[in-house]
Structure 1
Amino acid sequence: MTFKRYPIIAYFLTTMIASILLLIPHLIFGVILTPSFSLTQFGPACGLLIWCGITKEKYILEDIRSRFRVKKFMNWVICMIIYTFVIIFLCSFLLALWGEPFIPWQGMVIFYIVEAIAMLICCAAEEVGWRGLLLPLVEEKYPLFKSSIIVGVLWGAWHLNFTGGIFGFILYTISIVFVSAIMTWIFNKTDKNMTLMVLEHFCFNLFSHIFLWNRFNIKLFVVEILLFGLTTVLLLIIDKPTFAEKKCINI
């Protein structure tokens, strides 16, 4: 069975097909509920459900649910929020120096509340797939650093972001690979905590909207590669044993 023999490829292709199908309502109706509510972000969750249904390994869903916890990890929550805020703020600052001035993300208070809720839901829908299923699948075969690269490439490619053409697509995917490496490190340092993965993804999206609004371009990708890449290098220097480790995970 393809899903058993090639689980990584099978999950990714299933997710891509589901995401493309979920894009159709947006193409027909445009914005649904709110600009930050994207049905395509439910593609990874759909891929997870299909994967579990075909392989009959539905216990994975319960395993993922059990990893949504907060106790004992509040220090990580605080550090992640501060780190993400600082990095995105620095991205905004460097872009301004590079000739891309700050543009406010404007709206009423209720607009921000609805947008934040939509982002949180969509980030959770992504993370149950990328970090809930795909990352553990990859970690069964490869060391953590290589696993983070594989997941990052697939995650970045899934966005089909061709801002700036093929060159922009490559730069964007590289930036996502570095974000993936950082999240993989946190994931394995916190006993595969899914709440932290959703929170990190949410903070990245929220702060990007606040500080990087209408500056989603090649310059931004370069700056993000610089800052997230620097963080990844520092983590490799400080904690190389973790990245070199190969997990034996039975999901």
Structure 2
Amino acid sequence: MKTDLLFRHPIRIFCIANFLTVILIVVTFSFDYIPQWAPGAFAILIILFLKGKSGVYELIKSMSFKFINLKWYLLALIFPILLCYFSYIGISMVEYKEIVNLKLSHSLSDYGTLVFLIILGSCGEELGWRGFMLPQLLKKHSLFTSSLLIGIFWGIWHLNILLGVPVFLYILF
């Protein structure tokens, strides 16, 4: 019975497990922590249960870099930095009527550690959203619909970070 439920509804179980984890973390610790590796962990657990170790290997292998033109990697790395920089300038001009000097208040190693942790956490999310959820949704939906569903779920999942309130309060009310 349990196995049949997991085989028939892997996406629902994946989503429910992620929401329950977020609710548990929020209730027991703080409102501003969200477990970035929860989607990846549940993806691995569900795949392990459904397809065994070979399925987990395929899941992780599917997340490897595809060697495409270097300009796309550079664009993906540089564009967010430029976006932040120009946003900072725009906010400075609106808020202070001048460009405020950007001062780094921590050492470069602190920023390096932060970047590493952001990338590490993002890998956990991508493993769940893109590595597990997207292929499952593509079995029944178009790429557009699948991407839209993941975007909606991702947005709800991150709602407590964006608004500083536990996500389950938005679901309940």
The bucket for the TM-score relative to the shorter chain is: 0.7 to 0.9
How far, CA to CA, are the matches of 1:105 and 1:7 in structure 2? 45
- 1:135 matched to 2:122: no
* Cα shift at 1:65: 2.3
d(CA) in 2 for partners of 1:57, 1:6:
17
Larger radius of gyration, structure 1 or 2?
2
In the comparison of the two structures, how many residue pairs are matched? 159
Q: Which residue is 1:78 aligned to? A: 74
Aligned to 1:197: none
Deviates more, 1:6-15 or 1:52-61: 52-61
The residue correspondences of 1:129-208 to structure 2 (distance < 5 A) are 129-161=128-160, 163=163
- Does residue 6 (structure 1) correspond to residue 1 (structure 2)? The answer is no
RMSD (Å) for aligned C-alpha atoms: 3.4
The one-letter code of the counterpart of 2:137 is V
TM-score (norm 2): 0.72
Residue of structure 2 equivalent to 1:64: 59
Secondary structure of the 1:40 match is coil
Counterparts of 1:53 and 1:22 in 2: how far apart (Å)?
Answer: 24
Q: Percent of aligned pairs with the same residue?
A: 21
Aligned to 1:220: none
Structure 1 residue runs of 5 or longer lacking an equivalent are 31-37, 171-251
Counterpart-to-counterpart distance in 2, 1:69 and 1:6: 29
So what's the TM-score if we normalise by structure 1?
Answer: 0.52
The residue number in structure 2 matching 1:92 is 88
1:62 maps to a residue whose letter is Y
| Unaligned residue ranges in structure 2 (runs of 5+) | none
Greater relative contact order: 1 or 2 (C-alpha under 8 angstroms, separation 6 or more)?
A: 2
Q: Is the 8 A contact 2:48 2:55 kept in 1?
A: no
* Residue 39 (structure 1) shift: 6.6
Tell me the SS of whatever aligns to 1:91.
helix
Deviation string, structure 1 residues 2-58 (Cα, Å, up to 9, x no partner): 32222222111112223444557754xx9xxxxxxx671111112112212332454
Aligned to 2:107: 108
